Amino acid sequence: MKYDKKSVEDIDVHGKKVLVRCDFNVPQDETGKITNDKRIVASIPTIRYLLDHHAKVILCSHLGRPKGKFDLKYSLKPVAESLSKILGFTVKLAPDAIGEGAKNLAESLREGEAILLENVRFYPEEEANDPEFAKKLASLADIYVNDAFGTSHRAHASTAGVAAFLPAVCGYLIQKEITVMGSALENPKRPLVAILGGAKVSDKIGVINNLLEKCDTIIIGGGMGYTFLKALGKEIGKSLLEADKLDYARDMVKKASEKGVKFLLPKDSLAADSFAADSPFIATEDENIPADKMGLDIGPKTIEAYRNAIKGAGTVIWNGPMGVFEFDAFSMGTSAIAEAIVNEKGVISIIGGGDSVSAVKKLGYSDRMTHISTGGGASLEFLEGIELPGIACLLDK
Ligand code: ADP
Ligand code: MG
């Protein structure tokens, strides 16, 4: 999917009321205290740009799953406080998203000021993408900015519906996602190497199908590798297997070879007695795994082969850890691949997928990647080539 969308810089915001859909869905402890404010911090460049250009900024977001009714537990109050601290002035929280309270606050805004609407998911109409609700939300503003990449695969009122009523553009976060991932898929610096892993083939069929059309090399690891190995007649012991995906796996291997796409499967594994952090394990001789063991990570021969395959890559797109990285003993494959990527000079490296991003962060490589996608489900759908409603609805350049 190629997106060439207008951004905040392509529209005159001076004196305008600008509704900005952010991703303020932050983690909190039992007392409501924000435990990680990265998402808030990440939203600041777009907000600052708007403030600096004399806009009247109306921020909105969802937080958690309040199931369509007001619930203090999911109030954006802590976010308003955090924003106030970061921005250095009070960001008032409206009592609701579309009611009189919100309207009055929006009306009272002066240039260079910002308010935050209360959780849009306090209304069932938000997730239902109800046009009346979207219209009311839109009526607060003159311009709509979407900067919540993580919900852009959802057609909700605040992520897509409002764009029917307002000129709509993207903020800097979405702009970076679509520029970096979009060009990697549509006009990549080659060779383009995809590294695909994670638990299940069935979760990744769309990604594999789409990337097979675009990549020069596909590297397979993680739990899903075993369905491929089984499909090719290898013994996989107690490793993860999706028996109903064996035909699919065989087809993909065949398709790759017809297309001249290098399709690399693990040559060896770390095979454990059980699915546990402290399980005894062995490194297997080859692809085969003893009947009483399960593969929880790629082995040293595979690491070596995959390192070589990454060498010289122009672009690497990575989705899905190589092993059960949550257990230290089985995080080596994922670590080694991350290391190989960051050591590759000039490579454009893109990490997408919730667990892949967690893995790269946990193992300490996130700062050295070109792009860490901020949306789990959204980045997967992007890699699948599916149109994202929260982006498709924005004005084309
Ligand atoms: P993402 O969220 O990045 O798309 P997935 O959700 O597909 O990634 O996969 C991540 C999960 O896959 C991790 O929790 C990891 O423990 C698991 N996993 C990786 N390798 C294996 C394996 N060999 N056996 C079982 N689970 C695995
Ligand atoms: Mg996941």
CATH number at 85 reads 3.40.50.1260
Q: In this structure, are 133 and 97 located in the same domain?
A: yes
Domain-located, residue 2: no
Give a yes or no: residue 396 inside a domain: no
**Spatial CA neighbour of 162 closest among 320, 317, 394, 397:** 394
Ligand 1 center to residue 4 CA distance, Å? 33
Task: Specify if 114 maps to a domain.
Answer: yes
Closest-approaching ligand to the CA atom of 207: 1
Residue with the smallest CA separation from ligand 1 atom 9 is 198
Structural domain boundaries, residue 127: 8-172
Instruction: Mark whether 33 and 84 lie in a shared domain.
Output: yes
Residues 79 and 195 in one domain: no
Do 89 and 81 form a contact (C-beta atoms < 8 A)?
no
Q: Which of 153, 98, 84 is nearest to 392 (CA)?
A: 153
Neighbours of 392 (CB within 10 A): 15
Q: Is residue 389 part of a domain?
A: no
Residues 284 and 304 in one domain: yes
| 142 and 75 co-located in one domain | yes
Residues 140 and 186 in one domain: no
Say whether both 313 and 250 belong to one domain: yes
* 47 and 80 assigned to the same domain: yes
- Asked if residue 219 and residue 151 are part of one domain, the reply reads no
- Give pLDDT, residue 375: 86
Would the CA dihedral through 43, 44, 46, 51 be positive or negative? positive
Whether residue 352 lies in the annotated active site: no
Q: What are the pocket residues of ligand 1 if the criterion is a CB atom closer than 6 Å to any ligand atom?
A: 197-199, 203, 222-223, 240, 295-296, 319-321, 323-324, 326, 353-356, 376, 380
Same domain, 32 and 69: yes
Task: Please give the number of the atom of ligand 1 that sits closest to the Cα of 352.
Answer: 3
DSSP lists the bridge partners of residue 8 as: none
Domain count across the chain: 2
- Looking up tokens 């007001």 gives 70
Q: Are residues 217 and 353 in the same domain?
A: yes
| Domain presence at residue 325 | yes
- Rounded distance from Cα 270 to ligand 1 centre (Å): 15
pLDDT confidence of residue 154: 97
In a domain, 96, yes or no: yes
Ligand 1 centre to CA of 250 (Å) is 21
Alpha helices (H) in 187-329, listed in sequence order? 201-212, 225-231, 246-259, 300-310
Q: What is the pTM of this model?
A: 0.92
- Among 172, 199, 216, identify where a domain stops: 172
Which ranges of the chain have pLDDT less than 70?
1
CA–CA gap between residue 316 and residue 296 (Å, rounded): 23
Residue 138: inside a domain: yes
Structure confidence at residue 376 (pLDDT): 86
Residue at which a domain ends, from 172, 199, 222: 172
What is the dihedral angle through the alpha carbons of 133, 134, 136, 137, rounded to the nearest 10 degrees? 120
154 and 245 fall within a common domain = no
Residue 302, in any domain of the structure: yes
Domain end position, chosen among 123, 139, 172:
172
